[in-house]
A and B are shown apart, each in its own frame.
Chain A
């Protein structure tokens, strides 16, 4: 400590009692005089307890997260496999009704499936017939 009127940057100066007395006159009995400390303490601790469950939960590593989701992931996998199997089973029957070569374009396969699904549809039959005629006509073959 040293003379309050001197500037020292390497250590704190002494308190200036005269100045402090004046500042206290402006400050009154102190900003904390009217504070209900017990209420403030209770409010802080209540907030701390409420936050504790989430904020203080130990940080989990990625494998803990994986283990936590393991059962759900296993159930979801089984469900997905069943759904895929069912879809495949149903799709297999549908494709069996339409026997097409491997070298046919996908658009033609799709069209053939539509036609096969509606075998008695006159419009579709007419369109298919027209398509066949056009195919040969374009090469000049009747």
Chain B
């Protein structure tokens, strides 16, 4: 089986790929979906490999917790598989999957809201935290930025992180959040303005 190309949304994917037009389905992907719709579950493998990382990024932005995000990604893929017959193969699979991820993530968070408070600490531990000295040096910076992000309305925070950090396009974010691309750009603009204001002193010293 040929190695599936990486897709947008995986900023840290080892093989970055150009962002295809949001509504242009990849022929290999469409063929795989048709096979899955016909009952060939092995063809689902291509979709899982291709979308696992960006789906995780979306889940993490919703939940702020790595293990919960992994659980939601699994759930979302299985939900997508269960409903694959309803999927229109003339559209791209990614936005449809991300929408499922967001919905499942929000439901998951409702049921286990207590865990989201551990997000910042968990992210540091899970992602290979720096040593004690470096951690102490960066803890003030991280706390300042985390506080600024925490003061944004949730949708603005998600939009700015998904756009600036994870590399999703406005159209993709719109599809996953169930809002218009124009609204996404408005949220992005508002979030940027707010963050620039709150982090101006850091930007000056960093620049």
- State the A residues within 8 Å of B (CB): 4-5, 7-13, 15-16, 18-35, 37, 40-41, 43-45, 47-49, 51-52, 55-56, 58-59
Nearest chain B residue, comparing its CB with the CB of A39? B70
Complexed CA–CA distance, A5 and B165 (Å): 17
User: Measuring CB to CB, which residues of chain B are less than 8 angstroms from any residue of chain A?
Assistant: 10-12, 36, 39, 41, 44-45, 48-49, 52-53, 56-57, 60, 66, 69-70, 73-74, 77-78, 81-82, 84-85, 123-124, 126-129, 138, 141-142, 145-146, 149, 160-161, 163-165, 169-171, 181-182, 185-186, 188-189, 192, 195-196, 199, 202-203, 206-207
Which of A32, A49, A52 has most B Cβ within 10 Å? A32
Give 14 new A-B contacts, CB below 8 A, not counting A20-B164, A34-B126: A7-B189, A9-B186, A11-B170, A12-B163, A16-B192, A23-B195, A25-B138, A31-B69, A43-B74, A44-B73, A45-B44, A47-B74, A49-B41, A51-B78
Residues from chain A with a CB closer than 8 A to the CB of B12 are: 29-30, 32-33
Q: How far is the CB of A88 from chain B (nearest CB, A)?
A: 50
Residues of chain B contacted by A35 (CB below 8 angstroms): 56, 66, 70, 126
Note all chain A residues with C-beta closer than 8 A to B181. Answer: 9
Contact of A19 among B74, B129, B196 (CB under 8 A): B196
A140 to B48, CA, bound (A): 97
Q: Flag if B73 contacts A40 (CB, 8 Å).
A: yes
- Nearest-neighbour CB distance to chain B for A104, whole angstroms, equals 65
